[in-house]
Amino acid sequence: MITAAGVAEIAGLLAAPAGTLNHDAPTPCGGCGETTPAHRCIGCLHDFGTPDSAWVHEHRATPSPSTDTLEQTVADIGDDELIRRVIAGLVRRPRTTRARTEPLWSRVGKRFALGSTYSMQLCRRFNFNPDERVLP
């Protein structure tokens, strides 16, 4: 909260002639005028000190793991799961009834180079309706 005292103190600091500021005096916050860090509001511009100050060391960001340290690879995903993901990606439902559609087994057959019987079996194996109408 911005107080009149805080505004007056900041105005006084800004109006002081060059070289007359007392650098040992507590510096007010940018918004509320508080000089004690514990009492400053969240949106204020705080003076957190130098890079070696205790506050900086307390609040240092922890590095996130890089992609080089990840242990999982695509080889860890089973073939069944990969096929299920491909079929799920082929399901594109039409928004209108007038859209040109085809059965899901047809799209699966084109993607995996299978005939209609094997395409229908593959859809059923992964719990998809082979006759569902999808966008081509």
The string of pLDDT tens digits covering residues 96-129 is 888 889 999 999 999 999 999 999 999 999 999 9
Q: In which residue are the tokens 């506050």 written?
A: 55
Same domain for 50 and 83, yes or no, is no
Look at residues 13, 11, 9, 6 and name the one whose alpha carbon lies nearest to residue 33: 6
State the DSSP H helix or E strand holding residue 32, giving kind and residue range, or none if neither.
none
Mean pLDDT of the chain: 75
Question: For residue 1, what pLDDT is reported?
Answer: 59
Q: Is residue 26 part of a domain?
A: yes
CB 10 within 8 A of CB 2: no
Same domain for 29 and 78, yes or no, is no
DSSP-based three-state secondary structure for 26: coil
Q: Is residue 98 part of a domain?
A: yes
Same domain for 102 and 128, yes or no, is yes
41 pLDDT band (50/70/90 cuts)?
A: low
Same domain for 33 and 82, yes or no, is no
Cα separation, 136 vs 134, whole angstroms: 6
Q: Is residue 106 part of a domain?
A: yes
Which of the pair, 113 or 27, is modelled with greater confidence? 113
Question: For residue 70, what pLDDT is reported?
Answer: 64
Cα separation, 32 vs 15, whole angstroms: 19
Q: Is residue 125 part of a domain?
A: yes
Q: Is residue 64 part of a domain?
A: no
Question: Interhelix angle for 79-90 vs 104-112, to 10°?
Answer: 130
Classify residue 109 by its DSSP letter: H
- Region 78-86: mean pLDDT is 92
Same domain for 40 and 12, yes or no, is yes
Domain hosting 50: range is 4-58
Same domain for 54 and 92, yes or no, is no
What does the radius of gyration of the chain's CA atoms come to, in whole angstroms?
33
Same domain for 35 and 81, yes or no, is no
Q: Which two tokens stand for residue 124?
A: 């059923």
Same domain for 52 and 83, yes or no, is no
Q: Is residue 121 part of a domain?
A: yes
pLDDT in tens, 51-69: 666 655 666 666 666 555 6
Q: In which residue are the tokens 């000190």 written?
A: 49
Same domain for 79 and 34, yes or no, is no
This prediction's pTM: 0.46
- Domain-terminating residue out of 31, 58, 85: 58
Percentages helix, strand, coil for the chain (3-state, rounded to 5) are 40, 5, 55
Domain count, the chain: 2
